[in-house]
Amino acid sequence: MAECEIEKVDPETAFLASKRESGNEWETFKENVRPLKRGRNIDLLNHALKSHTDINLKKSLIHHRRKLIEAIDEYKGEDPLLPWLQCIKWVQEAFPPGGDSSGLVVIFEQCVRAFWHSEQYKDDLRYLKVWLEYADNCFDKEVIFAFLVANEIGKTHSDFYISYALHLESKNKFKAANQIFELGISRNAQPIDKLKAAYRKFFARSMTRPKAIDDSMEKVGPVRSFGTVLAKGENRAPLGSLSSNCDVSAKNDRTRAAPLSIYKDSAATGETCPPQLDPSHSWHTLGARAERNKENNAIPAKWKSYKIPQRPGTRTGVATASACIPVFVDEECQDSQSMKAEGCNSSSLKIRQEDEKDLKRETELLRKNPLRNFPQNSLPR
């Protein structure tokens, strides 16, 4: 019995006893690892984290990612979504930080854009989960959920309604979240028990949440010092009476204020009486119409008093046809239009041709506008 207990050794002790030189990368870079819902394989994780210090390993990971994307274009089977899922899973394992250089957001976007119009995957749970993971990597999830509603993607799965409602709840849109839960239950989204359990938890949270105070009641409340409480029988004055009282008090303050005194400097001029004005320049009479409009009676004449200096040199004739002004074209708009023209089949080639800098730039643009490469007729109205 004692021998069996000695044989059972915890993994940490077994690792220290093995005297391996590698395998502790997780302890060194664990703050840079993005968690996954399905968990991670520690051996694959340690191997991937070595790329922080090994340049050759990092190049091999990028090369393998390129091969997986080429396999997507070369796939000829009945399930074209399968190579996309394999590529996404491998990138998540091989690039634990999940940053912009991993290209994961670009792969998410190209995957969902390749099948958004396909009836084969509108009710596929795997395709819906790719959409939800793509939404988690973008700044505005509500744009993606509105797109899914408009195109009826994932409407038979409870995961869609749960994710949408929880997002609305995080934005303090409790009424809209409740409507999403009720919509999913009315459509009998599967599994229905999971959706009802999430709805019960949401309802319990809403019951314990403090009730929101009406803005109009906050404005009606009288002004009082911090910490004081109104008496039990004390009535709140209506808003109209408060505003009228404020106006009356303001008028009383203005009437009680002392008049503004004007300073007169009589010693500066030495005059005891004000100077008398010339009666001829007084405004007792406005004069005739011709006198009032005398400044408008100037007759235009040829300008001869000033000569414009000419620039030295020979004068050129009429401008040639080649002297044209180049029209500025935004690179982002040009890229998006060219991608739409190429179509979904060639869109997966983009990540192979871009370097790390362009990949980060495209990732940042997709985070801000996740539907920037979609056709206009597919966007929600």
- Given a contact cutoff of 8 angstroms between Cβ atoms, the answer to whether 104 and 98 are in contact is yes
68 pLDDT higher than 80: yes
Burial class from Cβ neighbours inside 10 Å (0-12, 13-18, 19+) for residue 142 reads middle
Does residue 154 or residue 50 have the better pLDDT? 154
Q: Which of 18-27, 114-123, 319-328, 337-346 is predicted least confidently? A: 337-346
Q: What is the mean pLDDT of residues 221-232?
A: 52
pLDDT tens digits, one per residue of 181-201:
999 999 999 999 999 999 999
Does residue 237 or residue 153 have the better pLDDT? 153
Query: What is the model's pLDDT at position 325?
Result: 79
Query: What is the model's pLDDT at position 377?
Result: 74
Q: What is the mean pLDDT of residues 263-270?
A: 63
142 pLDDT higher than 90: yes
55 pLDDT higher than 80: no
Alpha-carbon torsion angle 136, 158, 121, 332, nearest 10 = -20
* Residue 181 structure tokens: 């839960």
218 pLDDT higher than 50: no
Q: What is the mean pLDDT of residues 265-293?
A: 63
Local structure of residue 224 (DSSP, 8 states) = -
Number of H helices, E strands in the chain: 18, 0
Residues 258, 230: Cα–Cα separation, whole Å: 37
Does residue 242 or residue 286 have the better pLDDT? 286
Residues 165, 183: Cα–Cα separation, whole Å: 10
Q: Cα separations (Å) of 160 from 38, 120, 123, 141? A: 18, 18, 11, 12
Query: What is the model's pLDDT at position 185?
Result: 95
Q: What is the mean pLDDT of residues 337-359?
A: 54
Q: Cα separations (Å) of 175 from 202, 315, 360? A: 11, 74, 37
Percent of the chain whose predicted confidence (pLDDT) is above 90: 32
Confidence of residue 340 (pLDDT cuts 50, 70, 90): very low
Tell me the pTM. 0.58
Query: What is the model's pLDDT at position 260?
Result: 76
* CA count, 13 A, side-chain hemisphere, 199: 21
Count of Cβ atoms closer than 10 Å to residue 25 Cβ: 20
